[in-house]
Amino acid sequence: MSPMRVTIDRTAVALVVVLSVTASALVGCASSSTTASDYLVDGCSPAKHDGQSVARVWDEAMLDAIRRDTPAPTVHARNLFHVSAAMWDAWAAYDPHADGWLVHEKLTASGGAHGVKAAREVAISYAAYRVLLYRYSFAAGMQETFDELSATMRSLCYRIDYTEIEGDSPAALGNRIAAKVIEHGKHDGSLEATHYVGTGYRPVNAPLVVAKPGTTMRDPNRWQPLALAQIVAQNGLPIPGSVQRFIGPFWGRVESFGLPASDDGTPVDPPAPPKLEAGDPASDAAFKQAAVDVIAASAQLDPTDAEMIDISPAARGHSHLGTNDGHGYAENPRTGSPYAPNRVRRADFARALAEFWADGPESETPPGHWNTIANTVSDAPGFEHRIGGKGHAVDRLEWDVKLYFALNGAVHDAAVAAWGIKGVADTARPISMIRYMGGKGQSTDPDGPSYDPEGLPLVPGLVELVTSASSAPGQRHEKLARHVGEIAIRAWRGNPGDPTKQAAGVGWIRAVEWVPYQRPTFVTPSFAGYVSGHSTFSRAAAEVMTAMTGDAYFPGGMSEWTVKQGSLGTEHGPTQDVTLQWARYYDAADQAGISRIYGGIHIPADDFEGRKIGARCGHTAWTLATHYWNGTAD
């Protein structure tokens, strides 16, 4: 059976629009004579989908749509939640006790438990299909996404042209739920009608031209857009224009799942970020140290460095929230044996970590990445699907629907919280910080050359002043002999000419020329640094996974992912296979945050505060989700 190709004229989308304008008639619809034959494809045998629940089938279809689209983590987190909530409402409609999120109808199905399961599968499919069709109707890869969505419906033997919203059939229920979610999304503060673009934000700093040394900033504490010859997203999609535009500075006003509303767009209020400010010595010192920390991480990206480190759970992980103070675990609690050492080159680990967590294995963006992690956990051999790790095991449909509702509620809230802070704090990225301070000079010795109170602090072997002696032939700054009096840093040298065969390595470069360990068409995400979205998303998801499974540890006490030798994209590497390992969900989340320091696009304060905010989002979403499941949300 070949899939029906949905044409690019958006005929299918028009059907969804018809549904969306009928949202006022969603609840208490009159019964009709609709039968299963009205929405089932005649003579069709449903595909098995490898035994996956229908909720999992639609989650995978959604992740594929995200992979094709431009990486916008705020938008994709919202879509993940709204589709998951639609699936939950479809499931809850056949549970007399559970509370729906937007739709509160209660229906019955004949045929006992089997009939209820079949009705839920139909309702879930129509709800997910219609929401996804609407949300990705203007996305990159639209045609491929439409084709996959229609093929998925036909593989389940459901008609894509069934648009009935009246009556008590599960298909009509699914259509009603979709219409309600679509209508809700028009008024949730996301500016969906203008494709999530607002007009109220203006950067205070002129763009930083990456190809030219240095930068000029009106305010070094504020975000600075980058000007690139070409902008390409991390999944390879070209983005029109050459100057970045802040993505989602208004997102803190988007309606969340479990966070309180905020008049100023910051539902969570973290401590102030460090600032380059002479009137506040502590904050000023923290700002400068943050830049030094990023430079120090960049200096660890040299593949010729022979230093070996143990990256197993025996040596890493088990940190307290908002710190990197952990030193691993004495033993695997599931096996009772010590974790085996996992020794690799330090630079291989740093580079593999930076690239693995950049967007996820196939650019699902961080919220989608945690869906892939959750699905892998759910599929683990011998894993028992007990909600909260307690009670009887539930079937995969119930497990998946509840997991996605809680998990994606958490990552949606993480986006609202993190971007609310980004839009208000509006902080600079490391490339601006390092180039700006490096261009000013050094701030360590007031009596020394090139002193400026806004300069970089000198650190022997890492941040130094180029002198006639240090740049003499055979000396460490020899290649910088034309730049005596300037600041040199020991860091990653920048993008090699052929990243498939070459690695740039680490050496002494001018501070004003530093770039983060990223592809030259990307360099730094198009929004402010404080707080880290990766850290917030990941900790929120880790909290839900810990609560949902009733266990802080991955199944078997460890999860891992191997970054193959030579598979890096920014430069050639790693020099050998690097197997990243995590004992607990929290360890994986922490490494996601750490990866952004090695990648040169966050400072530690962005990471640590993001983790703390993510923990709050995860706890809140989990607690609220259980109230919906138990019928105590209202």
pLDDT tens per residue across span 311-338: 999 999 999 999 999 999 999 999 999 9
- Each residue of 129-146: b (16+ CB within 10 Å) or e? bbbbbbbbbebbbbeebb
Q: For position 3, what pLDDT does the model report?
A: 35
Checking if the pLDDT of 363 tops 80, the result is: no
pLDDT mean over 31-60: 88
Helix, strand, or coil (residue 208): strand
Indicate if the pLDDT at residue 538 is higher than 80: yes
Give the helix/strand (H/E) hosting 581: strand 578-582
Biggest distance spanned by C-alpha atoms of the chain:
91
With bands split at pLDDT 50, 70 and 90, how would you rate the model's confidence at 34?
low
As beta bridge partners, residue 579 has 562
d(CA 439, CA 459): 16
pLDDT at 264: 84
Band the pLDDT of 237: cuts 50, 70, 90.
low
User: Nearest CA to 74 among 363, 414, 371?
Assistant: 414
- Name the residue among 516, 518, 452, 520 with its Cα closest to residue 487: 452
Q: Residue type for 304, please?
A: T
Q: How far apart are CA 40 and CA 35, in angstroms?
A: 9
How many other β-carbons are positioned within 10 Å of the β-carbon of residue 14?
12
CA-to-CA distance for 120 and 60, rounded, in angstroms? 18
In this prediction, residues 562-572 reach a mean pLDDT of: 97
Res 16: pLDDT: 47
Taking residues 597-620, what's their average pLDDT?
98
DSSP state of 209: E
Does pLDDT of 170 surpass 90?
Answer: yes
Give the model's confidence band at 234: pLDDT under 50 very low, under 70 low, under 90 confident, else very high. low
How confident is the model over 506-526, as a mean pLDDT? 95
Q: How much is the mean pLDDT over the chain?
A: 93
Report pLDDT for 9: 41
The three-state secondary structure class of 231 is: strand
Structure confidence at residue 18 as a pLDDT band (50, 70, 90): very low
Q: What is the mean pLDDT of residues 152-180?
A: 97
Statement: residue 428 has pLDDT above 50: yes
Measured between alpha carbons, how far is residue 586 from residues 127, 226, 275, 277, 599 in Å? Answer: 33, 33, 29, 34, 20
Residue-level pLDDT at 392: 97
- What is the predicted pLDDT for the residue at 229? 84
> Sign of the CA dihedral 311, 365, 78, 533?
positive
Per-position DSSP letters for 308-376, written without gaps between them: EEE-STTTS--PPTT-------SS-TTTSSPPPP-EEEHHHHHHHHHHHTTT-TTS-HHHHHHHHHHHH
140: three-class secondary structure by DSSP: coil
The pLDDT score that the predictor gives to residue 238 is: 67
Write the single-letter amino acid at 553: Y
The reported pLDDT for the residue numbered 563 is: 97
Is the N-terminal amide bond of 574 cis, ω within 30° of 0?
A: yes
Return the percentage of the chain with pLDDT > 90, whole number.
88
Rounded CA gap, 311 and 586, in Å? 15
Asked if residues 489 and 295 have their Cβ atoms less than 8 Å apart, the reply is yes
CA distance 614 to 620: 10
Residue range 130-157, pLDDT digits in tens: 999 999 999 989 999 999 999 999 999 9
Specify the pLDDT at position 17. 43
Q: What are the distances in angstroms from CA 199 to CA 139, 196, 247, 371?
A: 21, 10, 11, 32
Strands 226-227 and 208-209: parallel
CA–CA distance from 302 to each of 121, 347, 492 (Å)? Answer: 52, 5, 7
Average pLDDT over residues 111-129: 97
Residue positions counted in the chain: 634
> Which one-letter amino acid corresponds to residue 26?
L
Q: What is the average per-residue pLDDT within 3-7?
A: 39
Which pLDDT does position 233 carry in this prediction?
A: 66
**What is the crossing angle of helices 142-155 and 54-68, to 10°?**
170
The CA distance from 122 to 124, in Å, is 6
Q: How far apart are CA 211 and CA 234, in angstroms?
A: 19
Q: Report DSSP letters for 506-572, one per residue.
A: EEEEEGGG---SS-TTTSS-SS--SSPHHHHHHHHHHHHHHHHHT-SBPGGG-EEEEE-TT--SSSS
- CA pair distance 146, 7, nearest whole angstrom: 8
| Confidence (pTM) | 0.94
Q: How confident is the model at residue 362 (pLDDT cuts 50, 70, 90)?
A: low
- Residue 397: in which H helix or E strand, if any? helix 396-425
Rounded to an integer, the average pLDDT of 383-390 is 98
Residue 5 reports pLDDT greater than 50: no
Instruction: Report d(CA 32, CA 74) in Å as an integer.
Output: 39
Residues 6+ apart with CB under 8 A from 194: none
CA distance 106 to 28: 10
* Confidence grade of residue 521 (pLDDT, cut at 50, 70, 90): confident
Q: How far, in Å, are 211, 344, 413, 423 from residue 599 at the CA level?
A: 18, 18, 25, 22
Tell me which amino acid residue 515 is. Answer: V
pLDDT digits (tens, 9 = 90+) for 57-110: 999 999 999 999 988 999 999 999 999 999 999 999 999 999 999 999 999 999
Residue 122, Cβ neighbours under 10 Å: how many? Answer: 25
Kindly indicate the confidence band of residue 262, based on its pLDDT and cuts at 50, 70 and 90: confident
- Our measurement of the distance from residue 118's CA atom to the centroid of its chain's CA atoms, rounded to an integer in Å, reads 33
Mean pLDDT within 505-533: 96
Q: What is the pLDDT of residue 10?
A: 42
Structure tokens at 15: 């059907």
Among candidate residues 80, 84, 100, the one with its CA nearest the CA of residue 92 = 100
